[in-house]
Amino acid sequence: MQKNLYPQFGILLVDDEEAFLRSMSIALERKAGFSHLYHCHDSRNAMSMIAEHPIGIVLLDMTMPHISGDKLLQKIVTEYPDINVIVISGLNQLEIALDCIRLGAFDYYVKTTEERRLIEGIKRAVRMQEMHVENQALRRHVLTNTLEQPNVFASIITQDKGMHAVFQYLESIASSQQPVLITGESGVGKEQIAQAIHDLSNNTGPLVSVNVAGLDDNVFSDTLFGHRRGAFTGADSARPGMIEQATGGTLFLDEIGDLSPTSQVKLLRLLQEGEYYPLGSDRPKRLRARVVAATHQNLTDKQASGAFRKDLYYRLKIHHVEIPPLRRRVNDLPLLLDFFLTQAAEEMGKNKPTIPKELPVLLANYQWPGNIRELKALVYDAVSRHQSKVLSMETFRHVLTKENPSLLQANLENSNARVFFPAEQPLPSMQEINDLLVEEAMKRAQGNQSLASRLIGVSQPALSKRLNKKSAKPPKSNPYNCGYSYNHSYYSLKTLI
């Protein structure tokens, strides 16, 4: 397939009137941005064209010499049930329309239908067909558990199953031109995902990124749509907007959750109409780039509270990926640590230091509010300070343990850590809570007493004493074993640390 044809499957126009074929093609290109079109003015050739080309949609006339539209419709739905056939006929008769639908047509329009409605109907059919193609690709990926272009994801270091599923999904939607919404906490790698979406698309145009946070509406319009000469005071020359610069590629709108209400309306119109007006111009231009948007904000909450337009939210999330935070991908920590250590050592011209044994455990017990960006910064800081063969723990210890008061505060404030103590159960004693806490800390520190003591903020001799006392005592039957003993230890760790 030629690059940058849209949609990824062809639209075949079958009509004996060549003038209609021409005017319909122009309308489809100008009003819907469809460029992947085929013409057939002799109905006898329609089936062979479908066999030769990757056709996904057929726009079919009814009254034609040689083979009539209804005969062709029957043949297409029998031999190519995955193709969506839209009948566009000169016959304005309900009976005929119903017959076509019964035969399996996707939709029926009369030629005098208002052009805008007709184009909207064809867009709908294209969207349905795209979803069908995506579903097939997704099923293929899931069944084979493979990636078609693993090189595209080479710079995203991960062995997490959830991330792998995200990659498979992105491959399935690679050739669609519909928007993609990327959500996830700050620092999880959303920009990298946007780059991967662009690389997968094989579009020849560039990836153009715009951070829309804090842009007032005038700046937003000027940045995206550009302006004509003289559009406003100081506009000495015409300037193309970012949409035009992204032609044939990807327009990446970062921090979309911070877009002002007025700009939200403009973005919605752009996505709905596929057209925009540069400032000072009354001639519309077509959007010829795929829109990818990202945010660390919770758009579901924002649209529920009215701060983000519902219609824009649903337009943007036609495709949606949520990137999991680092604390839910702890198996990625050793890989990322090693990757950033190598990178930092190379950049600073130092030997790559050895990783102290306690470091991975310490990293796995931290919440990572700043996600991968925070880990990267920590590793770079540690490498810049490090002198000996083994990486110094100084940087990590300060940030990841009790010595950091903000971490303590964050843990105390973490409302998720609050656990329900069922009213019908007696409360555990302090002794029992302490035992559970010590047990959990030892588990998390993988038996390392020095680390476990730091996790719960006691000295190592104090912890050792407790452990000795505990092992000397016969195990007491625990009333909290009935379903929430773990919760108690969780509660203890989160709130008492």
Q: Which residues bind ligand ATP (CB under 6 A)?
A: 156-158, 184, 186-192, 254, 296, 372-373, 376
Q: Which is nearer to ligand ATP, 190 or 290 (CB)?
A: 190
Residue number, 302 or 373, with CB nearest to ligand ATP: 373
CA distance 137 to 153: 18
Beta-carbon contacts of 160 under 8 Å, excluding residues fewer than 6 positions away, are 324, 329, 331, 332
Reading phi first (left if > 0) and then psi (alpha if -120 to 50, else beta), residue 67 is in beta
In angstroms, give the least distance from the CB of 224 to ligand ATP. 19
Residue whose C-alpha is closest to residue 91's, from 103, 100, 83, 82: 100
Smaller CB separation from ligand ATP, 186 or 434: 186
Query: Minimal CB distance to ligand ATP: which residue?
Result: 189
In angstroms, give the least distance from the CB of 371 to ligand ATP: 7
Q: Least distance in Å: CB of 474 to ligand ATP?
A: 48
Rounded Cα–Cα distance for residues 178 and 378 (Å): 37
Calculate the CA 237 to chain-centre distance.
37
The smaller minimum CB distance to ligand ATP, of residues 192 and 464, is found at 192
Query: What single-letter DSSP state applies at residue 279?
Result: B
Q: How far apart are the first and last CA of the chain?
A: 60
Distance of closest approach, residue 252 Cβ to ligand ATP, in angstroms: 10
Query: Residue type at 97?
Result: A
Q: How far is the CB of 398 from ligand ATP (least distance, A)?
A: 21
Q: Which is nearer to ligand ATP, 55 or 337 (CB)?
A: 337
- In order, the DSSP letters of 129-141 are HHHHHHHHHHHHH
The nearer residue to ligand ATP, 29 or 191, going by C-beta atoms, is 191
Residue 307 CB, nearest approach to ligand ATP (Å):
18
